[in-house]
Structure 1
Amino acid sequence: MIPISLHKLISIRKKDILLYAVVLITLGFSRLCILIIPFRIIITWIGQVDKETPLDSSSNQINFVNRLKTIIIRVSNNTPWESSCLIQALCAHWLLRLKSIAHTTYIGVRLNKMNLLESHAWVRTGNTIVTGEIDHQEYSVVGKLGYFKQAIH
């Protein structure tokens, strides 16, 4: 069961209720994918290897991106499963892609205090880090996957 207070539930704006539900379902789907599908296959879904999207973003996208960022953080902190940075990044990727918003998914690594390799994933669109913002600068980027919005014909 998701531990969310009635007060918090009531305070959710009506237009965000659907987005909360979609994020929860997408986080669960992302977790399932991570558990059953090899990572080498998953990365082929995310974007073009070694490509980055531009740092600019349109003003009409900024509102949605900021709402999505906040909701992914809130929901991922309350899922009954582990919603790691990679799961959050996949969730953000799929929802940004659904809205045809260009973005880049980064995979980074660093050595921790015990000299063990740690990995991290984060998503950026425009100047906004959507997921994985905390400590992302401490990681060396080993993979960039750019998703460029598709032309509509």
Structure 2
Amino acid sequence: MRLSSLHERTRSRSILSLTWGDWLDFATATVELGRARLTLRRASVQTMLETAIDTPTHARAYHPHVTIDRVGIAIARACYRVPWRADCLIQALAAQRWLRRHGIPSRVAIGIRESGANPFEAHAWLISGDTVVTGGDVRDYLPLLPRG
């Protein structure tokens, strides 16, 4: 199952039907979204992007319960329920910080839609390996920043 379809499925699932593990992920995602929002308000865009693009893996123990899919699903689930705007860049930064804490490398990609009605439509997403963690289906977007 593609991650974008997992995100669509999580939006329709009732928050009341979550397991304890899902609740813990939801709480962590909410905290990370809040931290990302504050970081974005405080830091200059250039500083924030320099940090987000290159995320070296630190020598930390990998926690098998923290997976890329779980982080992506929890961020997607929480971003619609927080009382502040949690746009694509905030979601990418939140998921990146969460993955970084567990030694999982990732990078933020920012791009524009190649075609469409809007003359300029930007989008941010998080990539870990070959997996799009946040941002949904990004096939129509052309990355503006270097890929590596």
TM-score range, shorter chain: 0.7 to 0.9
Cα separation, partners in 2 of 1:61 and 1:109, compared to 1, 3 Å: farther
SS, match of residue 143 in structure 1: coil
- The 1:139/1:78 distance shift into structure 2, 3 A limit, reads same
Instruction: Give 2:90's aligned residue.
Output: 87
**Residue 43 of structure 1: which of 38, 44, 49 is its match?**
49
Q: Which amino acid aligns with 2:117?
A: K
Corresponding residue of 1:113: 117
Could you say what secondary structure the match of 1:20 adopts? helix
Unaligned residue ranges in structure 2 (runs of 5+): 1-13, 56-62
Q: 1:1-150 to 2 correspondence within 5 Å?
A: 8-9=15-16, 11-48=17-54, 64-110=67-113, 112-115=116-119, 117-134=120-137, 136-144=138-146
Give, in whole Å, the separation in 1 of the partners of 2:27 and 2:146: 29
Q: Normalized against structure 2, the TM-score is what?
A: 0.74
Aligned CA-pair RMSD: 2.7
Unaligned stretches of 5+ residues in structure 1: 1-6, 50-59, 147-153
1:19 Cα deviation after fit: 2.2
CA shift, 1:89, in A, is: 0.2
Evaluate the alpha carbon distance shift between residue 142 and residue 15 of structure 1 in structure 2; reply closer, same or farther with a 3 A threshold.
Answer: same
- 3-state SS of 2:145 partner: strand
Aligned amino acid, residue 22 of structure 1: T
Which residue identity lines up with residue 99 of structure 1 in the other structure?
H
Change (3 A) 1:47 1:61: farther
Q: Residue 60 of structure 2 aligns with which residue?
A: none
CA contact (8 A) 1:107 1:144 kept: no
Whichever of the two has the greater Rg, that structure is 1
Higher relative contact order (CA 8 A, sep 6+): 1
Q: One-letter code of the match for 1:70?
A: I
Label 1:122 to 1:144 Cα distance change in 2 as closer, same or farther (>3 A). Answer: farther
TM-score normalised to structure 1 length: 0.72
Contact 1:48 1:145 in 2 (8 A): no
Q: Residues of 2 paired with 1:73 and 1:120: CA distance?
A: 15
Q: Are the counterparts in 2 of residues 105 and 124 from structure 1 also a CA contact under 8 Å? A: yes
Q: What is the DSSP-based 3-state SS (H/G/I as helix, E as strand, rest coil) of the residue aligned with 1:31?
A: helix
Show structure 1 runs of 4+ deviating over 4 A. 60-63
Cα offset, 1:65, TM superposition: 1.3
